[in-house]
Amino acid sequence: SADTAAVVVVGAGHAGAEAATAVRQAGHVGRIVLVGDEPRLPYHRPPLSKAYLAGTTTLEALLLKQQTVYDKAEVELRTGVKVERIERENKRMVLSDRTTLAYSRAILATGSRPRPLLAVGLDAGNIPSNLCYLRTTDDVERMRGRFVEGARLLIIGAGYIGLEVAAVARKAGLHVTVLEAQPRVLARVAAPSVSAFFESLHREAGVDIRVGANIESITLNAAGDVEAVITNDGTQIEADLVLAGIGVIPNVELASGAGLVVDNGIVVNQFTQSSDPDILAIGDCSNHPNPIYGRRIRLESVPNALEQARIAAAFICGKPQAYASVPWFWSDQYDVKLQMAGLSQGYDLAITRGSPASKSFTTFYLQNGIVISADCVNRAPEFMLVKKLVASRRPIDPALLADESVTLKSLAEAAAV
Protein backbone atom coordinates (compact mmCIF):
# COMPACT_ATOMS: atom_id res chain seq x y z
CA SER A 1 0.00 0.00 0.00
CA ALA A 2 1.05 3.60 -0.46
CA ASP A 3 1.97 4.18 3.16
CA THR A 4 4.32 1.23 3.37
CA ALA A 5 5.98 1.96 0.02
CA ALA A 6 9.49 3.04 0.92
CA VAL A 7 11.78 5.17 -1.15
CA VAL A 8 15.42 4.60 -0.24
CA VAL A 9 17.95 7.16 -1.41
CA VAL A 10 21.57 5.97 -1.43
CA GLY A 11 24.19 8.69 -1.06
CA ALA A 12 23.63 11.86 0.94
CA GLY A 13 25.33 14.50 -1.21
CA HIS A 14 23.81 17.24 -3.32
CA ALA A 15 21.64 14.89 -5.37
CA GLY A 16 20.54 12.57 -2.58
CA ALA A 17 19.66 15.28 -0.05
CA GLU A 18 17.61 17.10 -2.64
CA ALA A 19 15.89 13.94 -3.88
CA ALA A 20 14.83 12.82 -0.41
CA THR A 21 13.00 16.05 0.40
CA ALA A 22 11.75 16.53 -3.16
CA VAL A 23 10.07 13.11 -3.11
CA ARG A 24 8.11 14.24 -0.06
CA GLN A 25 7.29 17.60 -1.62
CA ALA A 26 6.07 15.88 -4.77
CA GLY A 27 3.52 14.03 -2.65
CA HIS A 28 4.99 10.69 -1.57
CA VAL A 29 3.23 9.54 1.61
CA GLY A 30 5.30 6.47 2.48
CA ARG A 31 8.63 6.08 4.16
CA ILE A 32 11.67 7.94 2.83
CA VAL A 33 15.15 6.92 3.98
CA LEU A 34 18.34 8.75 3.04
CA VAL A 35 21.49 6.70 3.63
CA GLY A 36 24.92 8.34 3.46
CA ASP A 37 28.31 6.91 4.34
CA GLU A 38 29.82 10.24 5.37
CA PRO A 39 29.53 10.91 9.10
CA ARG A 40 27.77 14.28 8.88
CA LEU A 41 24.68 16.01 7.52
CA PRO A 42 24.82 16.56 3.74
CA TYR A 43 26.88 19.63 2.84
CA HIS A 44 27.89 21.86 -0.06
CA ARG A 45 31.02 20.58 -1.82
CA PRO A 46 31.95 23.60 -3.97
CA PRO A 47 33.23 25.65 -0.97
CA LEU A 48 35.72 22.88 -0.16
CA SER A 49 38.06 24.31 -2.79
CA LYS A 50 36.97 27.91 -2.17
CA ALA A 51 35.73 29.61 1.03
CA TYR A 52 35.96 26.57 3.29
CA LEU A 53 39.56 25.86 2.35
CA ALA A 54 40.28 29.58 2.75
CA GLY A 55 38.88 29.37 6.27
CA THR A 56 36.29 32.08 5.68
CA THR A 57 33.26 29.87 6.27
CA THR A 58 32.32 27.29 8.86
CA LEU A 59 31.29 23.66 8.71
CA GLU A 60 27.86 24.68 9.98
CA ALA A 61 27.44 27.09 7.06
CA LEU A 62 28.25 24.29 4.62
CA LEU A 63 25.16 22.25 5.45
CA LEU A 64 22.71 21.85 2.59
CA LYS A 65 19.77 21.71 5.01
CA GLN A 66 19.40 21.68 8.76
CA GLN A 67 18.31 18.49 10.55
CA THR A 68 14.90 20.11 11.13
CA VAL A 69 14.27 20.18 7.38
CA TYR A 70 14.68 16.40 7.15
CA ASP A 71 12.55 15.96 10.25
CA LYS A 72 9.77 18.12 8.87
CA ALA A 73 9.78 16.22 5.57
CA GLU A 74 9.85 12.97 7.56
CA VAL A 75 13.03 11.87 5.87
CA GLU A 76 14.91 9.31 7.97
CA LEU A 77 18.50 10.33 7.58
CA ARG A 78 21.07 7.65 8.35
CA THR A 79 24.58 9.00 8.19
CA GLY A 80 27.82 7.09 8.61
CA VAL A 81 26.28 3.99 7.06
CA LYS A 82 27.10 2.51 3.70
CA VAL A 83 24.80 0.53 1.47
CA GLU A 84 26.87 -2.57 0.75
CA ARG A 85 24.61 -4.24 -1.76
CA ILE A 86 21.22 -4.27 -3.35
CA GLU A 87 19.24 -7.50 -3.49
CA ARG A 88 16.93 -6.70 -6.34
CA GLU A 89 15.13 -10.03 -6.12
CA ASN A 90 14.03 -9.21 -2.56
CA LYS A 91 13.87 -5.44 -3.14
CA ARG A 92 16.05 -4.70 -0.18
CA MET A 93 19.41 -3.23 0.63
CA VAL A 94 22.07 -4.55 2.93
CA LEU A 95 23.85 -1.90 4.99
CA SER A 96 27.30 -1.77 6.58
CA ASP A 97 25.70 -1.85 10.05
CA ARG A 98 24.22 -5.24 9.12
CA THR A 99 20.68 -3.94 8.95
CA THR A 100 18.56 -4.24 5.84
CA LEU A 101 16.19 -1.77 4.25
CA ALA A 102 13.22 -2.71 2.08
CA TYR A 103 12.45 -0.42 -0.84
CA SER A 104 9.74 -0.11 -3.41
CA ARG A 105 11.76 2.48 -5.29
CA ALA A 106 15.43 3.29 -4.89
CA ILE A 107 17.41 6.32 -5.96
CA LEU A 108 21.16 5.90 -6.36
CA ALA A 109 22.96 9.18 -5.74
CA THR A 110 26.37 7.76 -4.99
CA GLY A 111 28.35 10.56 -6.65
CA SER A 112 31.97 10.19 -7.68
CA ARG A 113 35.39 9.95 -6.09
CA PRO A 114 38.76 11.43 -6.98
CA ARG A 115 40.78 9.55 -9.55
CA PRO A 116 43.82 8.21 -7.72
CA LEU A 117 47.24 9.40 -8.73
CA LEU A 118 49.36 6.56 -10.05
CA ALA A 119 53.06 7.12 -10.39
CA VAL A 120 56.35 5.33 -10.10
CA GLY A 121 57.39 5.56 -6.47
CA LEU A 122 53.86 5.53 -5.08
CA ASP A 123 52.29 2.52 -3.46
CA ALA A 124 48.54 2.61 -4.10
CA GLY A 125 47.84 0.88 -0.80
CA ASN A 126 49.89 3.33 1.24
CA ILE A 127 49.06 6.95 0.47
CA PRO A 128 51.64 9.44 1.81
CA SER A 129 50.15 11.73 4.44
CA ASN A 130 51.05 14.84 2.42
CA LEU A 131 49.39 13.59 -0.77
CA CYS A 132 45.83 14.85 -0.75
CA TYR A 133 42.64 14.72 -2.76
CA LEU A 134 39.69 17.03 -2.39
CA ARG A 135 36.19 15.63 -2.19
CA THR A 136 35.07 15.71 1.43
CA THR A 137 35.36 17.92 4.49
CA ASP A 138 37.72 15.29 5.92
CA ASP A 139 39.97 15.80 2.91
CA VAL A 140 40.19 19.52 3.75
CA GLU A 141 40.98 18.75 7.39
CA ARG A 142 43.78 16.46 6.22
CA MET A 143 45.29 19.35 4.23
CA ARG A 144 44.96 22.03 6.92
CA GLY A 145 48.11 21.38 8.89
CA ARG A 146 50.30 21.75 5.81
CA PHE A 147 48.19 24.40 4.08
CA VAL A 148 50.11 27.21 5.74
CA GLU A 149 51.98 30.33 4.70
CA GLY A 150 55.35 29.58 3.14
CA ALA A 151 54.61 25.92 2.46
CA ARG A 152 55.37 24.54 -1.00
CA LEU A 153 52.19 23.24 -2.57
CA LEU A 154 52.34 21.16 -5.72
CA ILE A 155 49.04 20.77 -7.53
CA ILE A 156 48.71 18.01 -10.09
CA GLY A 157 46.05 18.83 -12.67
CA ALA A 158 44.93 22.25 -13.88
CA GLY A 159 41.21 21.62 -13.88
CA TYR A 160 38.75 23.64 -11.84
CA ILE A 161 39.62 22.13 -8.49
CA GLY A 162 43.36 22.50 -9.03
CA LEU A 163 43.04 26.11 -10.14
CA GLU A 164 40.63 27.04 -7.35
CA VAL A 165 42.98 25.59 -4.77
CA ALA A 166 45.89 27.44 -6.39
CA ALA A 167 43.99 30.72 -5.99
CA VAL A 168 43.16 30.09 -2.33
CA ALA A 169 46.72 28.95 -1.65
CA ARG A 170 48.33 32.05 -3.16
CA LYS A 171 46.08 34.25 -1.04
CA ALA A 172 47.18 32.26 2.00
CA GLY A 173 50.84 32.79 1.11
CA LEU A 174 51.81 29.31 -0.05
CA HIS A 175 54.27 28.77 -2.89
CA VAL A 176 52.26 27.12 -5.63
CA THR A 177 53.30 25.03 -8.60
CA VAL A 178 50.70 23.51 -10.93
CA LEU A 179 51.57 20.60 -13.21
CA GLU A 180 49.33 19.98 -16.17
CA ALA A 181 49.89 17.17 -18.67
CA GLN A 182 47.90 18.89 -21.42
CA PRO A 183 49.45 21.75 -23.37
CA ARG A 184 47.19 24.27 -21.57
CA VAL A 185 45.00 24.61 -18.48
CA LEU A 186 41.29 23.68 -18.71
CA ALA A 187 42.16 22.05 -22.03
CA ARG A 188 39.25 19.61 -21.95
CA VAL A 189 36.59 22.26 -21.52
CA ALA A 190 37.72 25.70 -22.67
CA ALA A 191 38.88 27.43 -25.85
CA PRO A 192 42.59 28.32 -26.08
CA SER A 193 41.80 32.00 -25.45
CA VAL A 194 39.95 31.16 -22.23
CA SER A 195 42.79 28.88 -21.12
CA ALA A 196 45.25 31.69 -21.84
CA PHE A 197 43.17 34.08 -19.72
CA PHE A 198 43.26 31.74 -16.74
CA GLU A 199 46.94 30.96 -17.18
CA SER A 200 47.87 34.61 -17.07
CA LEU A 201 45.51 35.24 -14.15
CA HIS A 202 47.36 32.62 -12.14
CA ARG A 203 50.83 33.62 -13.31
CA GLU A 204 50.14 37.22 -12.29
CA ALA A 205 49.19 35.90 -8.86
CA GLY A 206 52.54 34.14 -8.66
CA VAL A 207 51.53 30.58 -9.50
CA ASP A 208 54.16 28.56 -11.34
CA ILE A 209 52.13 26.79 -14.02
CA ARG A 210 53.86 24.10 -16.03
CA VAL A 211 51.89 22.71 -18.92
CA GLY A 212 52.79 19.65 -20.97
CA ALA A 213 54.30 18.25 -17.78
CA ASN A 214 53.97 14.56 -17.06
CA ILE A 215 55.10 12.92 -13.87
CA GLU A 216 58.01 10.57 -14.32
CA SER A 217 58.29 9.49 -10.71
CA ILE A 218 57.79 10.49 -7.11
CA THR A 219 60.33 10.28 -4.34
CA LEU A 220 59.39 9.74 -0.71
CA ASN A 221 61.34 10.72 2.38
CA ALA A 222 62.14 8.43 5.29
CA ALA A 223 58.77 9.15 6.86
CA GLY A 224 57.02 8.00 3.70
CA ASP A 225 55.89 11.48 2.68
CA VAL A 226 56.26 12.86 -0.81
CA GLU A 227 59.54 14.75 -1.01
CA ALA A 228 59.66 15.60 -4.68
CA VAL A 229 58.00 14.97 -8.00
CA ILE A 230 60.15 14.43 -11.06
CA THR A 231 58.66 15.40 -14.41
CA ASN A 232 59.30 13.93 -17.85
CA ASP A 233 61.90 16.58 -18.68
CA GLY A 234 63.87 15.61 -15.58
CA THR A 235 62.84 18.59 -13.45
CA GLN A 236 62.60 17.86 -9.76
CA ILE A 237 59.94 19.78 -7.81
CA GLU A 238 60.10 19.59 -4.05
CA ALA A 239 56.88 19.87 -2.14
CA ASP A 240 55.50 19.98 1.39
CA LEU A 241 51.98 19.25 0.23
CA VAL A 242 50.74 17.63 -2.97
CA LEU A 243 47.16 17.91 -4.18
CA ALA A 244 46.01 15.63 -6.98
CA GLY A 245 43.06 17.05 -8.92
CA ILE A 246 43.03 14.78 -11.92
CA GLY A 247 39.35 14.09 -12.32
CA VAL A 248 36.80 11.79 -10.75
CA ILE A 249 35.48 8.27 -11.18
CA PRO A 250 31.72 7.70 -10.84
CA ASN A 251 30.71 5.46 -7.93
CA VAL A 252 28.97 2.70 -9.85
CA GLU A 253 30.07 -0.41 -7.96
CA LEU A 254 26.81 -0.73 -6.02
CA ALA A 255 24.85 -0.56 -9.28
CA SER A 256 27.07 -2.89 -11.26
CA GLY A 257 27.11 -5.34 -8.35
CA ALA A 258 23.32 -5.43 -8.61
CA GLY A 259 23.54 -6.12 -12.33
CA LEU A 260 22.42 -2.69 -13.55
CA VAL A 261 23.72 -1.42 -16.88
CA VAL A 262 26.77 0.78 -16.30
CA ASP A 263 28.80 2.63 -18.91
CA ASN A 264 30.72 5.69 -17.69
CA GLY A 265 28.05 6.03 -15.00
CA ILE A 266 24.81 4.25 -14.27
CA VAL A 267 22.88 4.29 -17.54
CA VAL A 268 19.47 5.95 -17.11
CA ASN A 269 16.66 7.22 -19.33
CA GLN A 270 15.14 10.72 -19.49
CA PHE A 271 13.23 10.03 -16.25
CA THR A 272 16.43 8.90 -14.46
CA GLN A 273 15.34 5.24 -14.46
CA SER A 274 18.14 2.71 -14.70
CA SER A 275 17.88 -0.64 -16.45
CA ASP A 276 15.80 -1.71 -13.42
CA PRO A 277 12.66 0.47 -13.64
CA ASP A 278 12.38 0.71 -9.85
CA ILE A 279 15.94 1.96 -9.39
CA LEU A 280 16.76 5.48 -10.42
CA ALA A 281 20.18 7.12 -10.58
CA ILE A 282 20.98 10.82 -10.37
CA GLY A 283 23.88 13.24 -10.07
CA ASP A 284 27.55 12.59 -10.78
CA CYS A 285 27.01 8.82 -10.98
CA SER A 286 24.39 8.92 -13.75
CA ASN A 287 24.89 8.65 -17.48
CA HIS A 288 21.81 10.25 -18.99
CA PRO A 289 20.46 11.35 -22.35
CA ASN A 290 20.50 15.08 -23.03
CA PRO A 291 18.06 16.06 -25.79
CA ILE A 292 19.74 19.44 -26.32
CA TYR A 293 22.91 17.68 -27.46
CA GLY A 294 21.28 14.52 -28.75
CA ARG A 295 23.69 12.31 -26.86
CA ARG A 296 24.39 10.72 -23.50
CA ILE A 297 26.42 12.62 -20.97
CA ARG A 298 27.65 12.32 -17.43
CA LEU A 299 27.95 15.62 -15.61
CA GLU A 300 29.82 16.64 -12.50
CA SER A 301 27.93 19.69 -11.32
CA VAL A 302 25.64 20.81 -8.54
CA PRO A 303 22.90 22.17 -10.85
CA ASN A 304 22.70 18.79 -12.58
CA ALA A 305 22.51 16.94 -9.25
CA LEU A 306 19.62 19.14 -8.13
CA GLU A 307 17.79 19.00 -11.46
CA GLN A 308 17.98 15.23 -11.70
CA ALA A 309 16.81 14.93 -8.09
CA ARG A 310 13.62 16.79 -8.98
CA ILE A 311 13.11 14.71 -12.13
CA ALA A 312 13.45 11.52 -10.08
CA ALA A 313 11.04 12.80 -7.40
CA ALA A 314 8.45 13.79 -9.99
CA PHE A 315 8.73 10.38 -11.64
CA ILE A 316 8.29 8.49 -8.37
CA CYS A 317 5.22 10.54 -7.55
CA GLY A 318 3.60 9.79 -10.89
CA LYS A 319 4.20 13.18 -12.49
CA PRO A 320 6.95 12.33 -14.97
CA GLN A 321 8.88 15.13 -16.62
CA ALA A 322 11.65 14.40 -19.10
CA TYR A 323 15.07 15.81 -18.29
CA ALA A 324 16.05 18.50 -20.80
CA SER A 325 18.38 20.98 -19.12
CA VAL A 326 21.29 23.01 -20.35
CA PRO A 327 24.25 21.85 -18.26
CA TRP A 328 25.86 24.64 -16.26
CA PHE A 329 28.66 25.10 -13.82
CA TRP A 330 30.64 27.79 -12.08
CA SER A 331 34.14 28.34 -10.71
CA ASP A 332 35.59 31.09 -8.50
CA GLN A 333 39.26 32.01 -8.75
CA TYR A 334 40.59 35.21 -7.11
CA ASP A 335 38.21 38.01 -8.14
CA VAL A 336 37.01 36.09 -11.18
CA LYS A 337 33.64 34.39 -11.33
CA LEU A 338 33.43 31.97 -14.24
CA GLN A 339 30.02 30.63 -15.24
CA MET A 340 29.66 28.10 -17.99
CA ALA A 341 26.56 27.03 -19.87
CA GLY A 342 26.36 24.09 -22.25
CA LEU A 343 29.08 21.77 -23.46
CA SER A 344 31.72 23.02 -25.86
CA GLN A 345 32.97 19.69 -27.26
CA GLY A 346 32.83 19.74 -31.04
CA TYR A 347 32.74 23.52 -31.49
CA ASP A 348 34.06 24.93 -34.76
CA LEU A 349 34.14 28.62 -33.84
CA ALA A 350 34.86 30.54 -30.63
CA ILE A 351 33.71 34.17 -30.45
CA THR A 352 34.49 36.54 -27.61
CA ARG A 353 32.27 39.39 -26.49
CA GLY A 354 33.92 41.92 -24.20
CA SER A 355 37.56 42.05 -23.21
CA PRO A 356 39.72 39.53 -21.39
CA ALA A 357 42.09 42.41 -20.47
CA SER A 358 39.33 44.01 -18.40
CA LYS A 359 38.43 40.60 -16.89
CA SER A 360 34.90 40.84 -18.21
CA PHE A 361 33.96 38.80 -21.23
CA THR A 362 31.90 35.96 -22.60
CA THR A 363 33.29 33.39 -25.02
CA PHE A 364 30.67 31.67 -27.17
CA TYR A 365 31.28 28.26 -28.72
CA LEU A 366 29.44 27.63 -31.98
CA GLN A 367 28.91 24.52 -34.05
CA ASN A 368 27.40 24.96 -37.50
CA GLY A 369 26.32 28.48 -36.56
CA ILE A 370 24.55 27.39 -33.37
CA VAL A 371 25.73 28.43 -29.91
CA ILE A 372 26.40 25.16 -28.09
CA SER A 373 28.03 26.67 -25.02
CA ALA A 374 29.50 29.78 -23.46
CA ASP A 375 31.93 30.79 -20.72
CA CYS A 376 31.04 34.00 -18.88
CA VAL A 377 33.84 35.69 -16.96
CA ASN A 378 32.55 38.25 -14.45
CA ARG A 379 29.38 38.61 -16.49
CA ALA A 380 26.78 37.29 -14.09
CA PRO A 381 24.00 39.56 -15.38
CA GLU A 382 24.43 38.09 -18.88
CA PHE A 383 24.45 34.49 -17.76
CA MET A 384 20.69 33.85 -17.77
CA LEU A 385 20.48 35.15 -21.32
CA VAL A 386 23.46 33.06 -22.34
CA LYS A 387 21.72 29.94 -21.04
CA LYS A 388 18.63 30.82 -23.07
CA LEU A 389 20.74 31.27 -26.19
CA VAL A 390 22.30 27.85 -25.68
CA ALA A 391 18.90 26.24 -25.08
CA SER A 392 17.39 27.80 -28.19
CA ARG A 393 19.57 25.83 -30.66
CA ARG A 394 18.97 28.49 -33.33
CA PRO A 395 21.60 29.85 -35.68
CA ILE A 396 22.98 33.25 -34.72
CA ASP A 397 25.23 35.60 -36.65
CA PRO A 398 28.57 35.39 -34.80
CA ALA A 399 29.29 39.05 -35.61
CA LEU A 400 26.24 40.06 -33.55
CA LEU A 401 27.45 37.99 -30.61
CA ALA A 402 30.76 39.86 -30.60
CA ASP A 403 29.13 43.28 -31.03
CA GLU A 404 28.50 44.81 -27.61
CA SER A 405 26.23 47.47 -29.12
CA VAL A 406 23.77 44.63 -29.78
CA THR A 407 22.23 43.53 -26.50
CA LEU A 408 22.26 39.85 -25.64
CA LYS A 409 18.66 40.31 -24.57
CA SER A 410 17.64 41.15 -28.13
CA LEU A 411 19.61 38.16 -29.44
CA ALA A 412 18.09 35.80 -26.86
CA GLU A 413 14.61 37.07 -27.65
CA ALA A 414 15.16 36.68 -31.39
CA ALA A 415 16.49 33.16 -30.82
CA ALA A 416 13.53 32.21 -28.65
CA VAL A 417 10.99 33.03 -31.38
Enumerate binding residues for ligand FAD (CB under 6 A).
10-16, 35-38, 45-46, 48-49, 82-83, 109-112, 134-135, 161, 251, 254, 283-284, 300-303, 305, 329-331
Of the pair 242, 396, the CB lying nearest ligand FAD is at 242
247: closest CA among 276, 219, 279, 284? 284
Tell how many helices (H) and how many strands (E) occur in the chain.
Answer: 12, 26
CB 66 to ligand FAD: min, Å: 18
Is 93 in a helix, a strand, or coil? strand
CA 103, CA 6: separation in Å to the nearest integer?
5
Least spacing, CB of residue 272 vs ligand FAD, in Å: 12
Of the two residues 254 and 351, which places its CB atom closer to ligand FAD in the complex?
254
CA distances from 354 to 359, 376, 392 (A): 9, 10, 22
- Cβ proximity to ligand FAD, 111 vs 342, nearer residue: 111
Smallest distance, ligand FAD to C-beta of residue 82, A: 4
Report the nearest approach of ligand FAD to the CB of residue 364 (Å): 20
| Residue type, position 70, single letter | Y
Three-state DSSP class for residue 27: coil
The dihedral of CA 51, 14, 72, 96: what is its sign?
negative
Residues 6+ apart with CB under 8 A from 58: none
Radius of gyration of the chain, Cα coordinates, nearest whole angstrom: 22
For ligand FAD, the closer CB: 37 or 375: 37
Give the nearer residue to ligand FAD in terms of CB position, either 304 or 366: 304
Q: How far is the CB of 8 from ligand FAD (least distance, A)?
A: 10
201 versus 254: smaller Cβ distance to ligand FAD:
254
- For the bound state, the minimum distance from the C-beta of residue 226 to ligand FAD, rounded and expressed in Å, comes to 20
Phi/psi for 262 (5° steps) reads: -130, 130
Long-range contacts at 351-356 (CB < 8 A, ≥ 24 apart) = 351/398, 351/401, 351/402, 352/193, 352/402, 353/401, 353/402, 353/403, 353/404, 353/408, 354/379, 354/404, 356/193, 356/196, 356/197
Nearer to ligand FAD, 163 or 408 (CB): 163
How far is residue 398's CA from residue 352's CA, in Å, rounded to a whole number? 9
Q: How far is the CB of 359 from ligand FAD (least distance, A)?
A: 18
Nearest-approach distance from CB 396 to ligand FAD, in angstroms: 26
Residue nearest to ligand FAD (CB): 13
Q: Which is nearer to ligand FAD, 82 or 115 (CB)?
A: 82
How far apart are alpha carbons 40 and 122 in whole angstroms? Answer: 31
In the bound state with ligand FAD, the residue whose beta carbon lies nearer, of 379 and 415, is 379
Nearer to ligand FAD, 189 or 220 (CB): 189
Phi and psi torsions of 364, nearest 5°: -95, 140
Q: State the nearest-atom distance from the C-beta of 13 to ligand FAD, in Å.
A: 2
CA 29 to chain centre: 32
Q: Work out how close the CB of 352 gets to ligand FAD at its nearest, in angstroms, rounded to a whole number.
A: 22
Greatest alpha-carbon span in the chain:
68
